[in-house]
Every structure is written in structure tokens, then in C-alpha cells.
Chains A and B, each alone.
Chain A
């Protein structure tokens, strides 16, 4: 019952460093998403993918990159980390377009601090 697994759970980065947040799901879901949650701001969509090889920008894509080479994995890359990227990052997946009987399942989150 792994569901959506995110690693690492916590990370501190220095300004200008880069890192990759890992996300993998074992539910054979086609759709995958990356959100960030800032205090009082809800979840903002960074990037999403509707299948292997297909990605698209969400609401706040600047400063991030993604790839989707397999159905299972959807890593999020931060290049040149900035303090504004301090946030909690959530990966999610769904079988198809979110709707009746196709809700999104979320990972436990990665808390990232950029100092």
C-alpha cells in the first residue's frame, strides 16, 4: 500500500544550490502533479503530467523543471534555489482527469528550506 512516495521528507538548501525532489507512485496512475503549499495560500500547482513523456506548466512553474520518463516517476528539479522556494512540496497522482471516482492521491510532502 505504498501509494505516492516522496523523498526526501526534509531538506535544507543553500541559496543557489540545486536539488531534485523525487516522487513515485505504484498505482499505475496516468496523471501526476506537483504542488507547493505556502502558509495561508493553499496548494499551488507547479507542474503536471498526463502521461509518460508529457508535462505542462501549472500556476507557479518558474524556477522548476520536471520530467516524466516513466509512468511511476515524476521528479521535480529546482535549479538555483532561492528563499522564495521555501515551502512544503506535495506530489499527487490520479488515474485520469480528477473527477468522480478519480480523485488525486497525495504523498506526505517534502519540507524544503532555502537559506
Chain B
């Protein structure tokens, strides 16, 4: 049973437009959420994160929104650039455990 879900396996966006990647979770004990980006043949790299006590965190072109009541978070990329084309993983940490659970990923293609 997947605790972290990314229901869109892929997403295509025009360069300069907004990319919105969604993530849902089922475990109410998750207290910290992260987004990782992965290029082919490379390991994932950390992108942005948010604590459960916040509802928004911004870093340059990347903003993560958290809706705890809906158990939903989203990553917004504005404006999208071709170099953003990658697989994006949503991940969540449970307070009482030292481990991070990953979603299945969304493959983003930014079309020039």
C-alpha cells in the first residue's frame, strides 16, 4: 500500500509556463516533506522541502504548497525551463522513524 502517491506518471509543459506536480499521502504521522529531482543515469538530488507546520515554502522558481487537511502537496515551477525536464519524486518523513518514503515519481518534459 503506497503511503506517498503521485498519480500523474508524466507531464508535458511549454517552456515559460507553470508546471504543477502533485503528491498525495495517506499517513497523518508524516511531518516533513521533500521533493527530489532525478536526471537519467544519475542519483536523485534534493530540490525543496516543507515542514508540516508550514503551508508554503519558496525557493527561486520552485514553490511547494502543503494542504494538511487534504493530505496533499504540490510543487510549482515558474517559469518552466527545458533543463527542468526530469523525474520528480515526492517524499515524506514520519516523525517516529528515521526513514523517508518516496512516491513513484512524475516525469516532467518541458518543451522549448
CB interface residues, B 36-82, toward A, < 8 Å: 36, 41-46, 49, 51
List A contacts of B29 (CB < 8 A).
none
Is the beta-carbon distance between B98 and A50 smaller than 8 angstroms? Answer: yes
CB of B76, distance to nearest CB on chain A (Å): 19
Write out, one digit per residue, whether chain A residues 95-115 have a CB within 8 A of any chain B CB (1) or not (0): 001111001111111000000
Our pick among A43, A56, A59 for the contact of B44 (Cβ within 8 Å) is A43
Count A-side interface residues using an 8 Å CB cutoff. Answer: 28
Q: B34 on the interface (CB 8 Å rule)?
A: yes
Residue in B43, B46, B93, B102 whose beta carbon sits within 8 Å of that of A42 in the complex = B102
| Residues 49-103 of A contacting B (Cβ, < 8 Å) | 50, 56, 58-59, 90, 92, 97-100, 103
- Complex: A109 Cα to B44 Cα, angstroms: 9
Which A residues from 16 to 58 make CB contacts under 8 A with B?
31, 33, 35, 40-45, 48, 50, 56, 58
Q: Is the CB of B100 within 8 A of A106?
A: no
